[in-house]
Amino acid sequence: MDRTDCERLDAECKLAGCRARFSLPEGVLYFDGNSLGALPGTTASAIRRTIEDEWGAGLIRSWLDADWFFLARRAGDAIAPLIGASEGEVAVSDSTSVNLFKLAASLLRRGGAGRKVVTEAGNFPTDVYILEGLVDLLDRGHALVRADPARIADEVDEDTALVVLSHVDYRTGALHDMEAIAAHCNALGVPAVWDLCHSAGAVPVELNRWNVDYAVGCTYKFLNAGPGAPAFTYVSRAAIGDYRPAVTGWFSHAEQFRFEDGYRAADSINKCLVGSPPVLSLRAVIDGVATFDGVGMEELAAKSRRLSGLFIELADERLAEHGFALASPRDPARRGSQVSFRHPDAYAVARALIARGLIPDFREPDIVRFGIAPLYVRHVDIWDAVDAIEAVMSDGAWRDFRTDVREAVT
């Protein structure tokens, strides 16, 4: 295997043309599409039209004339096929954290006999913080349990009120068996909320087929919707009838513009909306998700697994001697769309790579994470990344980046 082989694999790849859907800077090897997806080629002009024609010229009329009112649902319906959901089951609004709060508050309020709120050790911090704060706010004797992610089913029992898990571990890329865990929860009647931030648009997700009722996820990673773009909420058609919103803003009202004194919830996924959506950022979700047009998730995930497999293979050969220990699962069926390594100087190494034009992410305490957005990452990029890492480690220059001041972003 050499670089020419990678070029050949790219030439043969049916999805290679998707890269042209993005505006990528020259001279950058981008492996952080799972923190911030690349800019689609159509977004800038779409947002310009939204600003100049819809806002500037249309003014208030554009809420109806330019369909701003329906963007939350339109964006949701565009995301639905990427996560195995149906039309009308997904809405886009607010941040992932707020959406998780909304679902968890509603589900804990519904109240069964269960006392435990089960999440997993090492879950993305904001998910755990939100649950911690909610348990404290409700003050009804719930106990937050950080279960071993490999033993979730052992922890979820009759005494469980709610389960909140991330499909893909943000640090290692380990992938839960969502179908099996959902079946276990469903058998016990325990509601489970899945965080799809690191799986939507990167690995196959079949919410309907796996009988999942609740999920949230962000749009700014693999869905390419731009920095901080609003997040999605999924409630299955089976669950939406009994779902009672806890954050009852006017966008979730049955007849928003009747301006009634009393609250009546909508009878649709609009139950999960709250206030006026940030239209510019929400509009960008449409173009972000459109980068998946005509692409099957199975085919895309297969490409992702080939790329991550190649990365692991080359790392075994060339990076192990430089202190890189694989943190991601070797089994491609259990791996999300990333390759992570532990390294004792992970932060300095990540900074040195960025200075060289290879952009991974650093994650506390010792992880260098390479996100693989299979719509635009190529086989040659994997080759060049390993080349770059080897070069940075060999010349020792990375040691100049040792520092105590740690800054990182998701």
For residues 4-63, which are near a second copy according to CB under 8 A? 23-25, 28, 30, 32, 35-36, 38-39, 43-44, 47-48, 51-52, 54-57, 59-63
Residue tagged 């480690």 (tokens): 393
Alpha-carbon distance of 82 to 182, in angstroms, equals 19
Closer residue to a second copy, CB minimum distance, 273 or 307:
273
Asked if 227 is part of the footprint of a second copy (rule: CB under 8 A), the reply reads yes
Please check whether residue 95 is in contact with residue 277, taking contact to mean a CB–CB distance below 8 angstroms: no
Closer residue to a second copy, CB minimum distance, 20 or 320:
20
Asked if 364 is part of the footprint of a second copy (rule: CB under 8 A), the reply reads yes
Candidate list 249, 309, 323, 357; residue touching a second copy; CB under 8 A: 249
Which residues does 309 contact at the CB level (< 8 Å), separation at least 6? 332
The footprint of a second copy on residues 377-396 (CB under 8 A) is: none
Alpha-carbon distance of 251 to 244, in angstroms, equals 14
Asked if 278 is part of the footprint of a second copy (rule: CB under 8 A), the reply reads yes
Please check whether residue 214 is in contact with residue 238, taking contact to mean a CB–CB distance below 8 angstroms: no
Q: What b/e string do you get for 178-198 counting C-beta neighbours within 10 Å, with b at 16 or more?
A: beebbebbeebebbbbbbbbb
Candidate list 133, 189, 241, 344; residue touching a second copy; CB under 8 A: 133
- Between the alpha carbon of residue 242 and those of residues 40, 107, 256, 271, the distances in Å are 38, 10, 20, 11
Asked if 267 is part of the footprint of a second copy (rule: CB under 8 A), the reply reads no
Per DSSP, the chain holds a count of helices (H) and strands (E) of 13, 15
221 catalytic? Reply is yes
Per DSSP, helices labelled H in 33-92 are 43-49, 62-65, 71-79
Asked if 188 is part of the footprint of a second copy (rule: CB under 8 A), the reply reads no
Stretch that binds a second copy, among 73-81, 149-157, 235-243, 245-253 (CB under 8 A): 245-253
The footprint of a second copy on residues 71-130 (CB under 8 A) is: 94-98, 101, 105, 109, 121, 125-126, 128-130
Asked if 407 is part of the footprint of a second copy (rule: CB under 8 A), the reply reads yes
Alpha-carbon distance of 200 to 203, in angstroms, equals 7
Number of residues lying near a second copy (CB under 8 A): 94
Candidate list 346, 361, 382, 383; residue touching a second copy; CB under 8 A: 361
Asked if 250 is part of the footprint of a second copy (rule: CB under 8 A), the reply reads yes
- DSSP secondary structure letter of residue 172: T
End-to-end CA distance of the chain: give it in Å, rounded: 33
Closer residue to a second copy, CB minimum distance, 121 or 397:
121
Asked if 405 is part of the footprint of a second copy (rule: CB under 8 A), the reply reads no
Q: Output phi, psi for 347, to 5 deg.
A: -65, -45
The footprint of a second copy on residues 289-318 (CB under 8 A) is: none
251 catalytic? Reply is no
The footprint of a second copy on residues 192-221 (CB under 8 A) is: 218, 220
Closer residue to a second copy, CB minimum distance, 44 or 238:
44
β-strand pairing of 160-166 with 192-195:
parallel
Closer residue to a second copy, CB minimum distance, 25 or 294:
25
As annotated, the active-site residues are: 124, 195, 220-221, 369
